[in-house]
C-alpha cells in the first residue's frame, strides 16, 4: 500500500545530481525549469504511489477535482462536468466533458473511463484498493459513465484522488504496464511526456489540443531536473537557473522569502508527522508509560526549531484541515506530568528504556531532542536510525520492532479513513499499523464511518470523531506536527496559489504564467 509515506519530504538522498543550466534559462523559449529532488521511477498511473504524481498530475487528469479547504465548493468539475449518487450511495452517474482528446488524438469518452478504471482495478498495484468495493463500470453513452459499488461509497472523493484515479488513454492501457513504465504516457492533461533521462531530467511538452486551451504567458515546455543536493536546488532558485524548486531545506526558507526575486508560498497540508508507539512491546504496552512519553515530547521546540515554523502542534490525530478531524485533548510538554505517569505505570525504573527507529532528516533531529528531554526524568532512549525499507521490515515484526517508529502520513484521497484504517485498524498481517494497536470499539467505529461516507457525511464525521477520541486516550502515537505545504518559485512566476491544495502533491504547471 503506502510505502510512499516516509519516502518523501526531502528525507531521502538520490545518487545522481543534475547538471545546471545557464543563468535564467527558465525564461528561454517560454520554458520553465524545475529543480526537484525526486527521481521518478513509476510511470504507470495505475501503480504509481509516491512522488511520481508531481509529474503525472500534469499529464493525466481525474474525473473530479477536490478544492482546497475554504473554497466556496468542495469539488470542481474535471473530466466530468457533473455527478450524482443514488439515494443509497451505491450507484454514481458521471456526465463527461465534451470535446476532450487524449494526447494521441483519440476521443475521451465513457468507454475510455471504463477501460481505465477496469485496468487500475485488475492491475492490483499502488492504490488500486480504493476501487475494491466497485462491482461494475458501465458506459451508458459516450458522455455518461455509471459506477456501481457493493456498498455506499464516496465515489466523488475517490474519483478526485491523486492515486489510482487518473484516466489513462485506451491505447496506453492496451500497450500495458511495461510500456508505460518504459516510460510512455497518454493522458488528457495540458502536458505530454517528452524526453526522459532517468535520474537526470523529465521534459513536459505543451499539448496543443488541450481542452482547457492556452493563454499568453503559460509555459510551453517544463524541464524537471533531478537535483539530489539540497544546496544546489537552493542555489538554482536563488540565481534564476530554476523557476521552481522542490524540497528546499526548512532552515533556508525564511532567508529565501526575504529575497525580492523569490516567493515562498505556504498553506496547511494534510500531512502529519508522528512517532508510533508499540502497544504490545514492553514497556510501551503499558498505557500510562505511553502517555508519559507523549508528555516528554517538546512539541513547541520541534515546530519552532526543527520545522522552523513550517508546522503546527496538532489538535488531534488528523490534520485540522481534513474533513472529519476531531479536536481532542492532547498531551503537552510537561516533565512533571511525565514523571507522575511513569511512577503510576508501575514499570520499574530500571526498565524505563525505549528504542526509537527513524530515517534521516527531520525525524533524526526530533529523535535526538526527545532523547535529551527523556533523560531528564530518567528514561533511556536508544536511537536506531536506518533506511526506510530496513526499519519498516523490522517494525512490522514484534520480535524486531522498536518501541517507537517514525512515520509521516498523507491520504490517498480526501478521507479520514486513510489515516485511521491504515495506521490503527487491527491487522492480522502488519503493514502500516506499526504501533500494533488493536481496539475492537475503534475498529467498529471507523468501519461504520467509512460505510457512511458515500451516503451521510455528517454521521460519518460523528463516528470518525468518536474514533479519534478513543485513539487519543489509548495513546498509540505521538502526533507531533501538522506540516505545511510549501512552494518556492521566482517571484515573476504567477499562479502558484492555485497549487496550494492539500489534496494534491503536484504543482500544476498549466496554472503558472509569467
pLDDT band of 8, cuts 50, 70, 90: very low
C-alpha cell at 91: 450507484
Q: Which residues pair with 486 in a beta bridge?
A: 266
Q: What is the pLDDT of residue 306?
A: 97
Rounded mean pLDDT of 38-47?
92
CATH 3.30.390.50 fits 269-485, yes or no: no
Q: pTM of the predicted model, to two decimals?
A: 0.90
Do 138 and 149 meet the contact criterion of CB atoms below 8 Å apart?
no
Q: Which residues pair with 137 in a beta bridge?
A: 147
Q: How many CB atoms lie within 10 A of CB 441?
A: 10
Q: Sign (positive/negative) of CA torsion 289, 295, 301, 306?
A: positive
Buried b / exposed e over 104-125, threshold 16 CB at 10 Å, is eeeebbbebbbbbbebbbebeb
User: Would you call 365 helix, strand, or coil by DSSP?
Assistant: helix
Least confident interval from 4-18, 64-78, 339-353, 370-384: 4-18
Residue 231: CB partners within 8 Å, gap ≥ 6?
A: none
Q: Say how far apart CA 153 and CA 136 lie, in whole Å.
A: 13
Residue 250, pLDDT above cutoff 60:
yes
Least confident interval from 29-33, 136-140, 240-244: 29-33
Straight-line distance from the first to the last Cα atom of the chain, in angstroms, rounded to the nearest whole number: 39
Residue 372: CB partners within 8 Å, gap ≥ 6?
A: none
**Peptide bond preceding 183: is omega within 30 degrees of 0, i.e. cis?**
yes
CATH 3.40.190.10 fits 181-266+486-511, yes or no: yes
Pairing of β 144-149 and β 191-197: unpaired
Q: What is the pLDDT of residue 38?
A: 84
| Fold (CATH) for 61-177 | Dipeptide-binding Protein; domain 1 (3.90.76)
Place of cell 478513543: 470
Q: Which residues pair with 272 in a beta bridge?
A: 409, 482
Residue 12, pLDDT above cutoff 70:
no
Q: What is the pLDDT of residue 268?
A: 95
The reply to whether 61-177 and 269-485 are identical in fold is no
Do 327 and 337 meet the contact criterion of CB atoms below 8 Å apart?
no
Average pLDDT, the chain: 93
Rounded mean pLDDT of 439-456?
95
Q: What is the pLDDT of residue 454?
A: 87
Q: Sign (positive/negative) of CA torsion 389, 395, 400, 405?
A: positive
Least confident interval from 73-82, 358-367, 377-386: 358-367
In the chain, what are the domain boundaries?
61-177, 181-266+486-511, 269-485
Place of cell 500494533: 436
C-alpha cell at 170: 485506451
Amino acid at each position: 500500500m503506502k510505502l510512499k509515506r516516509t519516502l518523501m519530504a526531502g528525507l531521502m538522498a538520490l545518487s545522481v545530481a543534475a547538471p545546471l543550466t545557464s543563468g535564467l534559462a527558465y525564461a528561454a523559449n517560454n520554458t520553465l525549469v524545475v529543480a526537484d529532488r525526486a527521481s521518478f521511477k513509476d510511470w504507470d498511473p495505475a501503480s504509481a504511489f509516491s512522488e511520481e504524481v508531481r509529474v503525472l498530475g500534469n499529464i493525466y487528469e481525474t474525473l473530479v477535482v477536490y478544492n482546497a479547504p475554504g473554497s466556496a465548493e468542495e469539488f470542481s468539475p474535471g473530466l466530468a462536468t457533473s455527478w450524482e449518487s443514488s439515494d443509497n450511495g451505491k450507484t454514481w452517474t458521471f456526465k463527461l466533458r465534451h470535446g476532450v482528446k487524449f494526447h494521441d488524438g483519440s476521443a475521451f469518452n465513457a468507454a475510455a473511463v471504463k477501460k481505465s478504471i477496469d485496468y487500475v482495478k485488475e492491475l492490483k498495484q499502488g492504490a488500486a484498493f480504493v476501487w475494491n468495493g466497485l462491482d461494475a463500470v458501465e458506459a451508458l453513452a459516450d458522455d455518461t459513465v455509471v459506477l456501481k459499488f457493493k456498498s455506499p461509497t464516496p465515489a466523488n472523493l475517490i474519483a478526485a484522488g491523486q492515486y489510482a484515479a487518473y484516466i489513462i488513454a485506451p491505447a496506453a492501457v492496451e500497450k500495458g504496464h511495461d510500456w508505460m513504465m518504459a516510460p510512455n504516457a497518454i493522458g488528457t492533461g495540458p502536458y505530454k511526456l517528452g524526453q526522459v533521462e532517468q535520474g537526470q531530467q523529465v521534459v513536459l511538452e505543451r499539448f496543443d489540443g488541450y481542452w482547457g486551451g492556452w493563454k499568453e504567458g503559460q509555459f510551453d515546455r517544463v524541464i524537471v531536473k533531478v537535483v539530489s543536493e539540497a544546496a544546489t536546488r537552493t542555489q538554482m532558485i536563488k540565481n534564476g537557473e530554476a523557476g521552481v524548486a522542490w524540497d528546499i531545506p526548512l532552515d533556508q526558507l525564511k532567508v529565501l522569502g526575504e529575497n525580492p526575486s523569490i516567493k515562498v508560498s505556504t498553506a496547511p497540508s494534510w500531512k502529519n508527522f508522528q512517532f508510533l508507539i508499540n502497544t504490545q512491546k514492553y514497556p510501551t504496552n503499558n498505557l500510562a508509560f505511553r502517555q508519559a512519553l507523549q508528555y516528554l515530547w517538546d512539541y513547541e521546540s520541534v515546530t519552532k526549531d526543527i520545522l522552523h515554523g513550517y508546522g503546527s502542534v496538532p489538535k488531534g490525530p488528523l490534520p485540522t484541515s481534513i474533513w472529519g478531524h476531531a479536536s481532542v485533548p492532547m498531551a503537552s510538554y510537561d516533565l512533571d506530568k511525565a514523571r507522575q505517569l511513569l511512577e503510576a505505570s508501575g514499570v520499574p525504573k530500571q526498565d524505563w528504556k525505549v528504542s526509537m527507529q527513524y530515517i534521516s532528516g527531520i525525524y533524526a533531529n526530533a529523535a535526538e531532542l526527545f532523547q535529551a528531554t527523556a533523560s531528564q526524568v530518567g528514561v533511556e532512549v536508544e536511537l536506531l536510525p536506518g533506511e526506510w525499507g530496513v526499519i519498516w521490515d523490522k517494525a512490522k515484526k514484534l520480535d524486531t520492532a522498536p518501541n517507537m517508529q517514525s512515520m509521516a502520513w498523507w491520504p490517498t484521497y480526501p478521507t479520514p479513513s486513510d489515516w485511521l484504517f491504515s495506521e490503527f485498524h487491527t491487522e492480522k498481517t502488519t503493514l502500516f499499523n506499526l504501533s500494533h494497536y488493536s481496539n475492537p470499539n475503534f475498529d467498529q467505529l471507523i468501519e461504520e464511518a467509512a460505510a457512511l461516507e458515500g451516503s451521510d457525511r455528517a454521521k460519518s464525521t460523528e463516528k470518525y470523531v468518536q474514533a479519534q477520541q478513543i485513539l487519543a486516550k489509548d495513546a498509540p502515537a505521538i502526533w507531533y506536527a501538522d506540516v505545511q505545504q510549501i512552494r518556492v518559485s521566482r517571484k515573476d512566476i504567477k499562479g502558484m496559489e492555485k497549487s496550494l491544495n492539500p489534496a494534491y502533491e503536484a504543482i500544476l504547471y498549466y496554472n503558472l504564467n509569467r
